[in-house]
């Protein structure tokens, strides 16, 4: 493996597109301890008078989520929203089938909207197209968005919310291609149901922006034919096609795992091509964008049956340094594909495959917390078309890959620029030159870096700060060039203007 210097070339005139703030979204599902025991935990010493965990809300604010998807996930396909609104003592206690848990319904749509207002983040609500009907979907839109004066809007007012919630972004079901889904459908059945739901939802409120369920993952035999068929049948009624993916180092092959960006790009490119092909075939002027509304690392904890308990411990993945480097690359890919990808939701936000783990009285920021936080804080404006010249290294899954994975942003309004660099090498430091053309920053005054020697190092309640970013000295930019050396197994953000 060579360690000759890498060169990152940027030109502020060469941008890929505008970075949608909705790329910094999260996902909260009624699963395990995401809602109960995570966001909402009246028994915790950190709970406010409404039951929201103050420490969790503060940590979520650090992540600067711009949008939160709710209430599922597989949970959505068995959920009837009327169960979760109105006086709490009257809300039903149910056997929840997706995760075989007890759902108390003490948290529902209005509590979710309150959370969004508190953060603040935009809500992205799902409608149940598994066991739900199009009538129920339209009624939820009325409940959330209509002014007082009709049945469901008046119900919202009676529940204490005189003003409409104004929810613009919605999902038409969840993973409806999955055999695991409650009330799963084949592609024609789903497309027909989604189209009819979309019609009545937009009749309720024409400002809605709707996401169609795309393939749940790339291994299903229906991928990507499902996507083509549902797009063709629903095109004019929808605004996004969703995709989901969970990455993992299942074969203990860290070299390949650290090159996963290749897989993320392939999935996005396949679906972007499908979208484009359908648009051309339909001779349409309407646009549909991609929404990666579930993404994360998930492979270690597969506990998915709750044993009919309330808030059981389900899929409480513990994240390590290599997982954080994969998350950082995922976000590099979001920037590199921001012309087609407009929404992305980290799945999930608390306890369940999440950047934050809680006990009743404390919380831990997991390794993946930090790359998300840094992208969400520093990436803004336009994504630049980064040219990377880098030494390469061999991987079993993707062939020879560059040691560096990179993205960059430039905000023409503020003049802020940021560069995001992952060094995939497990052993060698890598000297890097960053070369600007166009508007050149005077100095990259902020340099923040996560690095370590052990790819499996993780934060725990006993050692909550084992893997955290360090702030380094700023880097001068002389004649449009900045130089630095990236340690192995590292993620570095440089920001300046």
Residue closer to ligand AHR by CB (options 215, 492) is 215
Q: Which of 29, 142, 175, 317 is catalytic?
A: 175
Q: Is 232 a residue of the active site?
A: no
Residue window 160-179: x/- pattern of binding to ligand AHR, with contact defined by CB under 6 A:
--------------xx----
Q: Strands 481-486 and 430-437: what pairing?
A: antiparallel
Stretch in the footprint of ligand AHR (CB under 6 A) among 70-78, 305-313, 326-334, 383-391: 70-78
* The binder of ligand AHR chosen from 25, 32, 38, 72 (CB under 6 A): 72
CB of 184 to ligand AHR, least distance (A): 12
Each residue of 86-119: b (16+ CB within 10 Å) or e?
Answer: beeeebeeeebebbebbbbbbbbbbbbbebbeeb
Q: Is 29 a residue of the active site?
A: no
Residues 6+ apart with CB under 8 A from 283: none
- 122 part of the interface to ligand AHR, by CB under 6 A: no
Residue closer to ligand AHR by CB (options 143, 372) is 372
* The binder of ligand AHR chosen from 15, 74, 110, 407 (CB under 6 A): 74
Query: Distance between CA atoms of 31 and 8, rounded to whole angstroms?
Result: 42
- 205 part of the interface to ligand AHR, by CB under 6 A: no
Residue closer to ligand AHR by CB (options 12, 215) is 215
- 293 part of the interface to ligand AHR, by CB under 6 A: no
Each residue of 290-310: b (16+ CB within 10 Å) or e?
Answer: bbbbbbbbbebeeebebeeee
- 101 part of the interface to ligand AHR, by CB under 6 A: no
Residue closer to ligand AHR by CB (options 38, 72) is 72
* Dihedral sign (CA 267, 331, 371, 485): positive
- 417 part of the interface to ligand AHR, by CB under 6 A: no
CB of 244 to ligand AHR, least distance (A): 6
Stretch in the footprint of ligand AHR (CB under 6 A) among 4-12, 68-76, 186-194, 327-335: 68-76
* The binder of ligand AHR chosen from 205, 294, 316, 322 (CB under 6 A): 294
Q: Give every strand in the sheet of 6-11, ordered side by side.
A: 387-389, 6-11, 430-437, 481-486
Q: Which of 294, 316, 317, 322 is catalytic?
A: 294
Query: Distance between CA atoms of 424 and 427, rounded to whole angstroms?
Result: 9
* CA-closest candidate to residue 263, choices 276, 275, 250: 250
* The binder of ligand AHR chosen from 8, 21, 22, 29 (CB under 6 A): 29
**Position of tokens 């919380």?**
363
Residue closer to ligand AHR by CB (options 181, 204) is 181
Cβ contact 224:290 at 8 Å: no
Name the residue number minimizing CB distance to ligand AHR. 73
Q: Give every strand in the sheet of 15-18, ordered side by side.
A: 15-18, 382-384, 404-410, 417-423, 490-496, 446-451, 470-472
Name the DSSP letter for residue 270: H
C-alpha 287: how far from chain center = 22
Stretch in the footprint of ligand AHR (CB under 6 A) among 44-52, 66-74, 124-132, 154-162: 66-74
CB of 280 to ligand AHR, least distance (A): 30
Q: Which residues lie across from 211 on neighbouring strands?
A: 171, 240
The first and second tokens of residue 115, run together, are 């959370």
- 214 part of the interface to ligand AHR, by CB under 6 A: no
* The binder of ligand AHR chosen from 73, 224, 371, 455 (CB under 6 A): 73
Stretch in the footprint of ligand AHR (CB under 6 A) among 67-75, 252-260, 270-278, 477-485: 67-75
Residue closer to ligand AHR by CB (options 293, 405) is 293
Residues 6+ apart with CB under 8 A from 370: 324, 450, 467, 468, 469, 491
* The binder of ligand AHR chosen from 44, 348, 358, 366 (CB under 6 A): 348
Residue closer to ligand AHR by CB (options 243, 408) is 243
Query: Distance between CA atoms of 208 and 206, rounded to whole angstroms?
Result: 5
Residues marked as catalytic = 175, 294
- Positions touching ligand AHR (CB under 6 A) are 29, 72-74, 174-175, 294, 347-348
């Amino acid at each position: 493996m060579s360690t000759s210097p890498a060169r990152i070339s940027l030109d502020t005139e060469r941008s890929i597109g505008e970075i949608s703030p909705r790329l910094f979204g999260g996902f909260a599902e009624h699963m395990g301890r995401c809602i109960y025991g995570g966001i909402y935990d009246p028994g915790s010493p950190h709970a406010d008078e409404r039951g929201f965990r103050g420490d969790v809300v503060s940590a979520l604010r650090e992540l600067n989520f711009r949008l939160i998807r709710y209430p599922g996930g597989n949970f959505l396909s068995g959920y009837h929203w009327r169960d979760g609104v109105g006086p709490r003592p009257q809300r039903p206690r149910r056997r929840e089938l997706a995760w075989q848990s007890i759902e108390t319904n003490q948290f529902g749509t209005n509590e979710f909207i309150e959370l969004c207002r508190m953060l603040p983040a935009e809500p992205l609500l799902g409608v149940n197209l598994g066991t739900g009907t199009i009538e129920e979907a339209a009624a939820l839109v009325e409940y959330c968005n209509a002014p007082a004066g009709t049945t469901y809007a008046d119900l919202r007012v009676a529940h204490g919310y005189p003003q409409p919630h104004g929810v613009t972004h919605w999902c038409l079901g969840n993973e409806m291609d999955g055999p695991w889904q409650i009330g799963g459908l084949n592609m024609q059945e789903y497309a027909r149901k989604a189209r009819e739901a979309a019609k009545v939802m937009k009749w309720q409120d024409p400002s809605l922006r709707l996401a169609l369920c795309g393939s749940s993952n790339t291994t299903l035999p229906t991928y990507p034919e499902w996507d083509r068929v549902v797009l063709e049948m629903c095109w004019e009624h929808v605004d996004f096609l969703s995709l989901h993916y969970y990455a993992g180092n299942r074969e203990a092959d860290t070299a390949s795992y650290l090159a996963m960006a290749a897989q993320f790009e392939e999935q996005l490119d396949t679906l972007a091509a499908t979208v484009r092909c359908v648009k051309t075939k339909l001779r349409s002027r309407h646009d549909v964008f991609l929404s990666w509304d579930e993404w994360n690392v998930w492979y270690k904890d597969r506990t998915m049956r709750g044993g009919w308990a309330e808030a059981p411990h389900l899929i409480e993945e513990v994240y390590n340094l290599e997982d954080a480097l994969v998350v950082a690359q995922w976000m590099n890919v979001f920037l590199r594909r921001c012309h087609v990808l407009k929404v992305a939701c980290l799945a999930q936000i608390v306890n369940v495959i999440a950047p934050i783990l809680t006990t009743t009285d404390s919380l831990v920021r997991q390794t993946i917390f930090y790359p998300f936080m840094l992208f969400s804080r520093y990436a803004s404006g336009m994504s630049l078309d980064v040219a990377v010249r880098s030494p390469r290294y061999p991987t079993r899954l993707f062939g020879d890959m560059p040691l560096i994975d990179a993205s960059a942003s430039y905000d023409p309004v503020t003049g802020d620029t940021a560069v995001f660099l992952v060094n995939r090498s497990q052993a060698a430091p890598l000297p890097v030159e960053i070369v600007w053309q166009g508007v050149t920053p005077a100095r990259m005054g902020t340099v923040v870096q996560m690095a370590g020697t052990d790819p499996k190092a993780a934060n725990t309640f006993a050692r909550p700060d084992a893997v955290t970013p360090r702030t380094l000295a700023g880097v001068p930019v002389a004649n449009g060039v900045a130089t630095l050396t990236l340690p192995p197994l590292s993620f570095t953000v440089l920001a300046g203007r």
